[in-house]
């Protein structure tokens, strides 16, 4: 396989809302390039991109697939990403190593919530965007409406480069506005087309669109703008240069159209990417840090020291762990010794592969800007950097999103705990958006992720790869206990059972502290009524009680306890006796001081099309949520609310159902708040029932 210089590489992340045809488009690109002799199909499980069993059965993309083909002497690295928000981490990792986001939009729906959310991710990664308006053959396809929604949501950066002729059923023709030709594709899925001169009926509209293209191309560069003002127009070469500059500078987003399922418009899309698409060498150098934490540049060329970013890790049967990487600088060859500064380990690059789905082809080397895979790295994981041992650096990693769902996990069989722990740790290393921790307070293993489907996939892979069955249960809520009143009471521990007895007697005053102040102990003993050596034991008894709770077994917080009186026995008093007495006094005083439960409240932000706003707000209210505000973003509404964590179990699934998959949400911890009396009563009763069992 030939080597490609950076200028001839195009790294394309195929992105967009779910079910818009991203995977079908990726398959169509490989077919159009002659990489395969039959276009893959998601519905019948023949897609080259969606090859994993979970993807075939669900008919959706779950992970990013790496595909490639040669087109017009360029190497197109096509990274097909999932559309569901459950797998947004895959999109984030992919956009980190791509220069170009190929945004697929449904011709009947236009810009959707997922379109906008991945557009923001692309913007954060400074990726250029090309739009492909797909499914132009659908009954209600409306290119003008879709283009208008793109302009509205993407800062008027869209530039229309094609004019659909017969949108809707039977769609097969469009005007190539750059070449002023009528393009007619065969509708048999062969990817063949013919071009003719424009008919008179289309010339006026096409020329009007072309004038807009010329103006936008001129505005992308000062020299071209000056030339445009002097001459009143630009040459075709100038227009091409202006569009390319606009793509590199991210001031323009070209908009093309077609039908991925029958390959209509796909070859023109690939031509455009090869001719105009941003190359890795067009990007500014990467800023990395060396072993002294000093910043250094790594330019995307083969003469720079080697640096590679691992952006995805998968585990394949009969292969082991496979690491997908982007060569950020230098050149990597099989057998190269490299350094992983993230983990301070040395690695040896074995065989290097280029991928088409699960099919891999060994290559001798890859140049700066290229993407490939390798196997059997010892201790290198997603987000790590591999670099030249003599000039080791750490590249900026991948900014993965915080979890939006948490579920507790329990083994189905005793003795599987170690295998489960090992498996979960391995799955986290492969997918950092999946987080696992053992909560010592709740005594539960809590797994967190981007959605219920995300965690279902994790559990399935835990079983398939590590041979352990687990069940998912609702996680306990980390409530807190505190008081709203004051109380003074005695705790007296007296025990006589022959020989030396036990005696401790304390008087405590308890009172509330401000939220977040924790616990405060004050020694107010005077006159030696309790010897000083027993005071720490009293405090210890109280602190141990704080951990175990008083009202319902949850941690106590925001309470002050003052020890102000008591008595002791010369023979029978001991540290243990005063520790027990301190605990007894605190429990009694706590229950007499208007005890309450506190619950964690989360800031929830829901983005939905306006049509679903009423249903979403009603559902939030039903979850004891308080609407904190609303904002409009074009056709979408952002609902901001504060919702108890106890009411957010499986919320992502409910939201998907309420909005037909068109709503997404984010959440983060806000504060603790008093549980309403009726709810608190149910919680306490449930705890007491559990103890009784």
pLDDT at residue 450 tops 90:
yes
CATH of the domain at 340: 2.40.30.10
The last residue of one of the domains, among 567, 593, 619, is 593
Predicted confidence at residue 315, as pLDDT, reads 84
Percent of the chain with pLDDT over 70: 100
CATH number, domain of 153, equals 3.40.50.300
Residues 434 and 495 grouped into a single domain: no
Q: What domain count does the chain have?
A: 5
What is d(CA 429, CA 89) in angstroms, rounded to the nearest whole number? 13
Confidence of residue 501 (pLDDT cuts 50, 70, 90): confident
DSSP string of 310-338, one letter each residue: EEEEEEETTTEEEEEEEEEESEEETT-EE
Q: Are residues 525 and 454 in the same domain?
A: no
Residue 318 has pLDDT above 80, yes or no: no
Q: Specify whether 347 is located in the same domain as 214.
A: no
The answer to whether residue 689 sits within a structural domain is no
> 220-233 in b/e burial notation, b at 16+ Cβ within 10 A?
bbeebbebbeeeee
Q: Are residues 306 and 383 in the same domain?
A: yes
Tell me: pLDDT of 316 over 80.
no
Structure confidence by residue, pLDDT tens digits, 29-41:
999 999 999 999 9
Q: Are residues 265 and 330 in the same domain?
A: no
Same domain, 512 and 627: no
- Is 690 inside any structural domain? no
Helix H or strand E segment including 88: helix 88-97
- pLDDT tens digits along 332-389: 999 999 999 999 999 999 999 999 999 999 999 999 999 999 998 999 999 999 999 9
Whether residues 634 and 675 share a domain: the answer is: yes
Please give, one letter per residue, the 3-state secondary structure of 598-652.
EEEEEEEEEEEEHHHHHHHHHHHHHCCCEEEEEEEECCEEEEEEEEEHHHCCCHH
Query: Looking at residue 442, which CATH number applies to its domain?
Result: 3.30.70.870
- 527-583: per-residue pLDDT in tens? 999 999 999 999 999 999 999 999 999 999 999 999 999 999 998 999 999 999 999
Q: What one-character-per-residue DSSP string does 1-15 give? A: -----GGGEEEEEEE
On average, the pLDDT of the chain sits at 94
Sign, CA dihedral 329-334-338-342, equals positive
- Residue that terminates a domain, selected from 261, 282, 303: 282
- Residue 400, pLDDT above cutoff 90: yes
Report how far Cα 524 is from the mean position of its chain's Cα atoms: 53
In angstroms, how far is the first alpha carbon of the chain from the final one?
Answer: 68
Please check whether residues 296 and 211 belong to one and the same domain: no
Task: Note whether residue 413 is domain-resident.
Answer: yes
- Per residue in 101-144, pLDDT (tens digit) is 999 999 999 999 899 999 999 999 999 999 999 999 999 999 99
> DSSP state, 34?
T
Picking from 558, 536, 559, 555, the residue whose alpha carbon sits closest to that of residue 546 is: 555
Domain contains 693: no
Confirm if 115 and 129 have CB atoms less than 8 A apart: no
Alpha-carbon distance of 582 to 506, in angstroms, equals 6
Domain boundary among the residues 550, 576, 593 is at 593
Tokens for 187? 């509708």
Beta strands in 98-192 (DSSP E): 100-106, 128-134, 158-160, 162-164, 173-176, 181-185
Asked if the structure places residue 146 within a domain, the reply is yes
- Residues 576, 526: one domain? yes
Per-residue pLDDT averaged across 599-603, rounded? 97
Q: What pLDDT, on the 0 to 100 scale, is given for residue 634?
A: 77
Within-domain flag for 365? yes
Is 130 within the bounds of a domain? yes
Distance CA 304, CA 54 (A): 41
Judge whether residue 497 has pLDDT over 90: no
pLDDT score at 557: 97
Same domain (yes/no): 525, 418: no
> What is the DSSP code (8-state) at residue 21?
S
- Does 225 share its domain with 93? yes
- Residue 292, classed as helix, strand or coil, is coil
- Residues 215/251, Cβ–Cβ less than 8 Å: no
Closest by alpha carbon to 141, among 170, 173, 109? 109
Percent of the chain at pLDDT > 90 equals 89
- Quote the CA–CA distance of 178 and 267 in Å, as a whole number: 15
Count of residues making up the chain: 693
Tell whether 686 is covered by a domain.
no
Identify the domain containing residue 157 by its residue range.
Answer: 6-282
Least reliable range by pLDDT among 310-319, 479-488, 592-601, 611-620: 310-319
Is the pTM above the cut of 0.85? yes
pLDDT value of position 145? 97
Give the pLDDT band of residue 498 (cuts 50, 70, 90): low
pLDDT tens for each residue of 172-214: 999 999 999 999 999 988 899 999 999 999 999 999 999 999 9
Are residues 265 and 293 both part of a single domain? no
What angle (nearest 5°) sits at the alpha carbon of residue 585, between those of residues 580 and 590? Answer: 130
Exposed, middle or buried by CB within 10 Å (0-12, 13-18, 19+), for 484?
exposed
* Position 1 pLDDT exceeds 80: no
Phi, psi for 294 (deg, rounded to 5): -85, 145
**Structure tokens that stand for 130 in this block:** 């090309």
């Amino acid at each position: 396989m030939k080597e490609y210089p950076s200028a001839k590489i195009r790294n394309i992340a195929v992105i967009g809302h779910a079910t818009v045809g991203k995977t079908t488009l990726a398959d169509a690109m490989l077919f159009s390039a002659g990489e395969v002799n039959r276009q893959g199909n998601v519905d019948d499980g023949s897609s080259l991109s969606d090859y994993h069993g979970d993807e075939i059965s669900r008919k959706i993309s779950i992970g990013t697939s790496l595909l490639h083909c040669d087109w017009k002497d360029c190497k197109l690295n096509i990274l097909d990403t999932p559309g569901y928000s459950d797998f947004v981490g895959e999109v984030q990792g992919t956009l980190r190593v791509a220069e170009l986001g190929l945004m697929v939009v449904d011709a009947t729906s236009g810009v959707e919530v997922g379109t906008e959310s991945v557009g923001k991710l692309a913007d954060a990664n400074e990726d250029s965007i090309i739009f492909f308006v797909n499914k132009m053959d659908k009954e209600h396809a409306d290119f003008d409406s879709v283009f208008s929604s793109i302009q509205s949501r993407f800062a008027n950066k869209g530039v229309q480069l094609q004019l659909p002729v017969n949108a809707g059923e039977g769609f097969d023709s469009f005007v190539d506005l750059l070449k002023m030709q009528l393009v007619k594709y065969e509708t048999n899925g062969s990817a063949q087309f013919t071009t003719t001169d424009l008919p008179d009926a289309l010339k006026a509209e096409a020329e009007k669109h072309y004038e807009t293209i010329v103006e936008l191309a001129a505005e992308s560069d000062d020299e071209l703008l000056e030339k445009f003002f002097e001459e009143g127009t630009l040459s075709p070469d100038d227009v091409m240069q202006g569009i390319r500059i606009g793509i590199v500078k991210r001031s323009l987003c070209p908009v093309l159209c077609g039908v991925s399922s029958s390959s209509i418009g796909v070859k023109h899309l690939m031509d455009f990417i090869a001719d105009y698409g941003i190359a890795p060498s067009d990007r500014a150098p990467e800023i990395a840090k060396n072993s002294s934490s000093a910043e250094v540049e790594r330019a995307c060329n083969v003469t720079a020291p080697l640096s590679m970013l691992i952006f995805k890790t998968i585990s394949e049967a009969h292969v082991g762990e496979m690491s997908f990487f982007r060569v950020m600088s230098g050149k990597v060859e099989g057998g190269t010794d490299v350094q992983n500064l993230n983990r301070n380990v040395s690695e040896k690059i074995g065989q290097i592969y280029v991928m088409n789905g699960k099919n891999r082809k060994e290559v001798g080397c890859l140049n700066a800007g290229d993407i490939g895979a390798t196997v059997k790295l010892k201790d290198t994981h997603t987000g790590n950097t591999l670099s030249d041992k003599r000039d080791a650096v750490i590249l900026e990693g991948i900014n993965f999103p915080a979890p939006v769902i948490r579920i507790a996990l329990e083994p189905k069989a005793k003795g599987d705990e170690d295998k489960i722990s090992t498996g979960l740790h391995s799955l986290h290393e492969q997918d950092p958006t999946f987080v696992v921790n053992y909560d010592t307070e709740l005594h539960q293993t809590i797994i967190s992720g981007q959605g219920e489907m995300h965690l279902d996939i994790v559990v399935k892979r835990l079983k398939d790869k590590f041979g352990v069955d687990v069940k998912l249960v609702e996680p306990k809520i980390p409530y807190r206990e505190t008081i709203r009143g004051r109380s003074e009471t005695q705790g007296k521990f007296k025990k006589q059972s022959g020989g030396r007895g036990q005696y401790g007697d304390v008087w405590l005053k308890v009172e509330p502290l401000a939220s977040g102040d924790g616990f405060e102990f004050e020694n107010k003993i005077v006159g030696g009524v309790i010897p000083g050596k027993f005071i720490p034991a009293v405090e210890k008894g109280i602190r141990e009680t704080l951990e175990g709770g008083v009202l319902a077994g949850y941690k106590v917080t925001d309470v002050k306890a003052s020890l102000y009186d008591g008595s002791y026995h010369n023979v029978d008093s001991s540290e243990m006796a005063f520790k027990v007495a301190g605990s007894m006094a605190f429990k009694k005083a706590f229950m007499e001081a208007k005890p309450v439960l506190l619950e964690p409240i989360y800031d929830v932000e829901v983005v939905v099309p306006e049509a679903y706003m009423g249903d979403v707000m009603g559902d939030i209210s039903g979850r004891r949520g308080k609407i904190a505000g609303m904002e409009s973003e074009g056709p979408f509404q952002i609902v901001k609310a504060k919702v108890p964590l106890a009411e957010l179990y499986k919320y992502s699934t409910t939201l998907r159902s309420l909005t037909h998959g068109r709503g997404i949400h984010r959440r983060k911890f806000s504060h603790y708040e008093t549980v309403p009396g009726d709810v608190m009563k149910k919680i306490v009763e449930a705890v007491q029932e559990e103890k009784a069992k």
